[in-house]
């Protein structure tokens, strides 16, 4: 489950809240931390023989970046659709 270009770009300016304590590995954000999606970009090209890739063997995977409130830097780890859905809620 990955973001399409349209889905990722649609998330820009979306406010979010962390719903899982210790989310995003080394950043270990606390549950309830809020932020804003500040960017959407292609992560890489993947290729494969799966059913979804038969018509288009090279498809872009899009990710989003988030600026969390009370943080001094933009969250630079690129967040895919699965992690976004699992660890965040839109507010």
pLDDT, average across residues 42-68: 65
Residue 20 near residue 87, CB atoms below 8 Å: yes
Burial class (CB in 10 A: 0-12, 13-18, 19+), 42: middle
Q: Pinpoint the alpha helices (H) of the chain.
A: 5-11, 81-87
Residue 17 near residue 36, CB atoms below 8 Å: no
> What are the pLDDT digits (tens) for 9-44?
999 999 999 998 877 756 678 889 889 999 999 986
Phi/psi for 35 (5° steps) reads -170, -175
The pLDDT value recorded for residue 21 is 81
Say what the pTM is: 0.76
Give the other-Cβ count within 10 Å of 45's Cβ: 10
Structure tokens belonging to residue 89: 């809620």
Query: pLDDT at residue 52 above 70?
Result: no
């Amino acid at each position: 489950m990955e973001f399409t270009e349209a889905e990722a770009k649609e998330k820009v300016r979306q406010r979010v809240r962390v719903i899982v304590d210790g989310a995003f590995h080394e950043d270990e954000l606390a549950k309830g931390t809020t932020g804003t999606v500040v960017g959407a970009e292609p992560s890489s090209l993947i290729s494969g023989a799966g059913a979804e890739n038969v018509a288009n063997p090279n498809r872009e995977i899009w990710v989003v970046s988030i600026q969390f409130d009370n943080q001094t830097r933009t969250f630079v780890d690129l967040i895919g659709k699965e992690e976004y859905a699992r660890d965040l809620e839109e507010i």
